[in-house]
Chain A
Amino acid sequence: DTAVSQTPKYLVTQMGNDKSIKCEQNLGHDTMYWYKQDSKKFLKIMFSYNNKELIINETVPNRFSPKSPDKAHLNLHINSLELGDSAVYFCASSLFAASGKSYEQYFGPGTRLTVT
């Protein structure tokens, strides 16, 4: 199926650990995103890559490091996990919007990260 997929779906870990979340899309999109959704369902953009180039980098602790090996993959590595990192992390993808256009984003199923 064509889609945005993420692994793992659930991640439970202890404070101080390092973990990674992986995302892949086979929609032929050239732009990918990481969002964080908190317990109140608020969605906040973290990062965006276009053709492996970082184009959006919101105010996120530098413990979070995204990496895009190619335009179909976007990974998120988190160092020294803290309790406040507990959230659902969504990957999304879209086409890059040329002038006069705006494209919708396609979301993955999310990774629920719980830090204990």
Chain B
Amino acid sequence: AQSVTQLGSHVSVSEGALVLLRCNYSSSVPPYLFWYVQYPNQGLQLLLKYTSAATLVKGINGFEAEFKKSETSFHLTKPSAHMSDAAEYFCAVSHSGGYQKVTFGTGTKLQVIP
């Protein structure tokens, strides 16, 4: 069984401030972890993914996430928020091989205040 929990359904930051979106996972096998972003009225787009190669993963648009096994976390960060970062962010978990099923978190809506 696998699951992800995203803490905070809404996060507000000022433009230029640090963005921190929290994700904790549960998986009975080594997980693969993803962050997706959904802009209004659009589909999901991959931001970054963890596949066990490196614990600090860099993604698009200046985002990065760190895999911490001891904390079962995969938090998403960006040093300086931009207005264009306002969107819904989803953490997701799957496992390797076979008929992989991706389980998505409930999403965190990021608001950027000018």
Contacts and interface: CB of A to CB of B under 8 A. Distances in A.
Interface of A: 4, 40-43, 45, 48, 50, 55-56, 90, 92, 97-110
Query: Size range of the interface on B?
Result: 20 to 34
Contacts of B97: 97-102
Contacts of B99: 48, 50, 55-56
B107 to A, nearest CB: 5
Contact of B42 (A99, A101, A103, A110): A110
Interface of B is mostly: strand
A42 B44 CA distance: 12
A98 B32 CA distance: 13
B95 to A, nearest CB: 7
A86 B2 CA distance: 27
Contacts of A100: 96-97
Nearest to A107: B43
A92 B102 CA distance: 11
A102 B43 contact: no
